[in-house]
Structures are given as C-alpha cells and as structure tokens.
Chain A
Amino acid sequence: MKRIVTIKTRNLEESEKNGGCGECQTACKCGVANQKCENANK
C-alpha cells in the first residue's frame, strides 16, 4: 500500500521551458495562484 499519494501538479522547473509567454490574464482587486495557463500541458 502506498502511504503517500501525489496529486498531479505542474512542475515548476519544467514550466521554465513552456512558460514565460505573458499571455495569461493579469475579481478581487490576489496572488497568482488563481491563474490558468494555456501552455501548461504542451
């Protein structure tokens, strides 16, 4: 039995390669936690 369940997340080191395009959006008027990225799974 596995005692540790790992939830699927975007790896931040890998995001260096498919990130940085700046096209994501800049409600509350926030951190960046709520942002979505269209390139995350490319």
Chain B
Amino acid sequence: MIHQYKLNGFNIVLDTYSGAVHCVDDLSYDIIELYETKSKEEIKQEMQAKYEEITEKDIEETFEEIENLKQEGKLFTKDIFENKNLDLKKRDTVVKALCLHIAHTCNLNCEYCFAGQGKYHGEDALMSFEVGKQALDFLVKNSGTRKNLEVDFFGGEPLVNFDVVKQLVEYARSIEKEVGKNFRFTLTTNGMLLDDDVIDFLNKEMNNVVLSLDGRKEVHDRLRKKLNGDGSYDIIVPKFKNFVEKRGNKEYYMRGTFTRNNLDFTNDIFHMADLGFTELSMEPVVSSPDAEYGLKEEDLDKIYEQYEILAKEMIKRKKQGNPFTFYHYMIDLSAGPCIYKRITGCGSGTEYLAVTPSGDFYPCHQFVGDKKFLMGNVKDGVTNTKIRDEFKLCNAYSRKECKDCWAKLYCSGGCSANAYHATGSINNVYEYGCKLFKKRIECAIMVKIAEAMEEDEMLATC
C-alpha cells in the first residue's frame, strides 16, 4: 500500500508496510499514481500527452527506478504483518507504566477539562503515600524483565499533593538498585503551585514535565480559570519561564489545548515560541461537538490549513536559527518505533494502567471513573482480566476501518479512549481524530523531508 500527497512544493510517496519515504518529481508522481491500475503503454501515452518536454527515455528511466524500488521492497510492498498479528494476541503482557492520579482535585476550574475539574466525576480525593507505595510495588512485581519503568504524576493538579509526590519518588529511588529497575518520572502541572522548592525538586527528579498553557492570554484565560473566575495566565507564565530556564530549556513540553474558540491556534503556538518556550505541543480538545467550544466537521479545513502553516513556520524558524519543536512533528524516521510497537500502540489496559487516589486500576487516565472499566486495585492486582484481554486485542489490525488506511502503522489504530467516548466501543475508531492525525503525519513527514534536503545527510540517494 502506498500514500501520495503534495505539500509545500514536495511530491511525497509513503510506502506503508516498509516504512519507506520517497520524494519524487512530477513525472514519477504521476506514473506511481497510475502504476497499479494501467498498463505501461497506457501510462506512457498519458505522460507524453501531459508533459511535452518529456522523452520516451525519461519515461523508461522512471519506470526502471520504480521497478528497482519495488524489487528492493521500498515501494508497493505487500502486508507481511497481518497474519503475524495473531501471535501478538497471545503474547504475555507486563506492566511497565503507571499514571498515578495523585490528586483528584484542582486549583483551577478549566471549562473543557475531560476530568471534570480534576475530580473525574467523583469527590475530591488525594492519594496517600501507602496507596502510592503499593502501586509502585505492584509495578515492580508485574514488570517482568523490563528495566525502564515509567510513572506519571497526574490529576487533577498533582502539586496539590506535592508531599506525597516527594515521598513516592524517594521510595522508588530507595528500591531502584535492589530491584534492578530504572524509574522514569514525569509530571503534568497547571503551574499555579510552582515555587523555587518545587522547581528544584522537579528538575532533579522528573525526566519530563508537561506544562499547561493554551497560548495567548485571552485564549488561555477564556477557559483556564481560577476558582474565583479570574484567568490564570498572568500567574503561571512567569513561573513557567523560571521553571524552564532553571531546567536548562529541555525535557519539558508546553502543552496547550485548542478549541473552536481559537481555530487560528498556530498563533498560540507562535506566542509560546515568542515567550521563549521551544518544546511545544497543542492538542485538539476532545469533547462533544455540541459543546460551545467543541470542534466540528466544518472546522476541519481550517485546522488542516493551520497544521500546514505550522509546519512551514517550523522549517522557516529553524533556518533562521531560532527553532522550536512541535510534539506531533517530532518523528524520527531512521530510529522510530519497531513494528511490534507500531502494531500494539500505547499499551493502555495492558502495559499501561491508571491508578486512582484510592488505588483502583483503570486502562488509562481517560477511563478513570467509569466503573465498567474498573480492572482491579493495588492490593489485589488486576482482577478483571477480561478487560485486559479486550485491550490486548486492540491494535492496528483489530479495527475494520483501519484495514485500508495508510497511516495505521503510525497511529496503531488510534486511541481506544477516544474511540469509546465517540462511538461507545473501544474497537471502533474516532474518525475526527483520525483525520487530524493523518494531516499531522503528512506535515511531520514533509518537515523531515525539508530538513533532509537542507542537511543532505539523511538521504540514502540523491
């Protein structure tokens, strides 16, 4: 299977099952498009009619290049993974990552919060050290031979329960050597409670931090409000600047959410860059399209345009010597994920579990509070193995909508939580999310091609 598209002056051809990426001229692009549906003679005639300056020799040489790539397994490759997928279903799974809901409460009242202002549609709650310790012990015990274990402090607002965060990190560090594991900690925060002590601790212990900022002041303050209704921008931006500077301007993501209120969201990304932040992420709000701020089908063209503007600006600013990164465009073509990872995806419900303040397990943070997905708890472990088995079957080959999709080995079949909330089943797809994902991947690959052309070092041939 191949996918062809034109973007920013590049003609791009992706070969789905080999992972190959080609940048081609107009003649090659047109021949590749017709290659599997018309005879060589028919294609020749069409090309000679379309391109007056092209000779028969040019066409023959192009056919030869295409044939060579086909023989090398880099173009028109067949799916050799689908049947192997059967083995993945029987695989043993280990737990390697936990999302610790350290606080089901928040000091902000963000209107679009999927967690219902941090409470996950329940009561205010803080995780105790004892529950957190049991969760870490469960992780170690159930991680098999995996050396790298990941723990994300999430909420609500994790810093509301900062003392327990510190205690849990201290506990994990105290057992690391003995159990032969390497803990990688991450934390997501709205920034309100950052002070020098918190910053120093997080910079010492967190492999990555995610900082919530929606961009321009008027955009941010419209939905990210304090409990008294005032905006939070003026409080958090100076704190984030201090935090990131002390962090050496690395290992963080400034993470925004865009809604129907700011479909020109690239201006919010550029605003973050102009504030001096360089590691940026901006996510589409996940909500009902009926919500006042919810994204609608009619917004898609505008969003696509924004993703293209963003890609072009990223290339431009890199050339000018003031680069920034956009999370979804940071793909590594030569050292990206293996085929196993590409098929199985994020591991929710199997390798990755969310833990509530009371110690209950859910498949991931987006299922927390929905009792249908309760999987067990820190004392008894995973007791509802039926749910785990359902999630084990969720992958790039399990959804009929993905069968003929060129992007399935980039998205692994999409997010189960998004699918569930959009369609009522984890085995369907969230189509709106698919459309956005495909556009982002097209842009991301174009950025990589532009960089390769600029640097010339990634090119296998030129």
Whether A6 pairs with B346 at a CB distance below 8 angstroms is no
- Contact partner of B331 (CB less than 8 A), chosen from A11, A26, A29, A33, is A33
Complexed CA–CA distance, A35 and B18 (Å): 17
Check if A37 sits within 8 Å of B337, measured CB to CB.
Answer: yes
- Interface segment, one of B41-49, B172-180, B214-222, B404-412: B404-412
Q: Dominant SS at the A interface? A: loop
Known: A18-B338, A34-B330. 4 other contacts (CB 8 A): A4-B22, A10-B19, A13-B339, A34-B327
Q: Which of B146-154, B294-302, B380-388 contacts A (4 or more CB under 8 A)?
A: B146-154
CA A9 to CA B18, docked complex, whole Å: 9
A13 to B81 alpha-carbon distance, docked (Å) = 8
Interface string of B93-127 (1 = CB under 8 A from A): 01011000000000000000000000000000000
Q: Which of A6, A11, A19, A30 contacts B341 (CB 8 A)?
A: A19
Asked if A31 meets B19 with Cβ closer than 8 Å, knowing A4-B24, A9-B334, A20-B338, the reply is no
Looking at the assembled complex, report how far the CB atom of B410 sits from the nearest CB atom of chain A, in whole angstroms: 4
Q: How far is the CB of B195 from chain A (nearest CB, A)?
A: 24
User: CA–CA, A24 to B338, complex, Å?
Assistant: 10
Give the interface of B toward A (CB within 8 A).
Answer: 13, 17-25, 27-28, 61-62, 65-66, 69, 73-74, 80-81, 94, 96-97, 146-148, 150, 154, 184, 188, 208, 210, 253, 255, 281, 283, 327-328, 330-342, 345-347, 351-352, 365, 409-412, 414-415, 437, 441, 444, 448-449, 452-453, 458-462
Bound Cα distance from A40 to B148, whole angstroms? 17
- Output the nearest chain A residue to B440 by Cβ-Cβ distance: A33
Q: List 22 A-B contacts (CB under 8 A).
A: A3-B27, A4-B13, A6-B20, A6-B461, A7-B22, A12-B342, A13-B18, A13-B80, A19-B337, A22-B146, A22-B340, A26-B97, A27-B210, A27-B327, A28-B328, A29-B210, A31-B345, A31-B414, A31-B441, A33-B331, A35-B336, A37-B337
Smallest CB–CB gap between B48 and chain A, Å? Answer: 16
Looking at the assembled complex, report how far the CB atom of A37 sits from the nearest CB atom of chain B, in whole angstroms: 6
Q: With A5-B23, A10-B19, A36-B336 known to touch, is A24 a contact of B150 (CB < 8 Å)?
A: no
Closest to B365 in A: A29
- Whether the Cβ atoms of A28 and B341 lie closer than 8 Å is no
Question: Could you say which residues of chain B place their CB within 8 Å of the CB of A6?
Answer: 20-22, 69, 74, 459-461
For the complex of A and B, 6 pairs with smallest distance between CB atoms: A19-B338, A31-B411, A40-B335, A15-B338, A26-B97, A35-B337
Q: What is the size, in residues, of chain A's interface with B at 8 Å between Cβ atoms?
A: 37
Which positions in A face B, CB cutoff 8 Å? 2-13, 15-16, 18-20, 22-41
Q: Are A26 and B96 in contact (CB under 8 A)?
A: yes
Tell whether, in the assembled complex, residue A7 and residue B23 are in contact, meaning their CB atoms are under 8 Å apart: yes
B409 touches A12 (CB 8 A): yes
Is B80 a contact of A28 with CB atoms below 8 Å? no
| CB contact under 8 A between A28 and B327, given known A4-B69, A36-B336 | yes
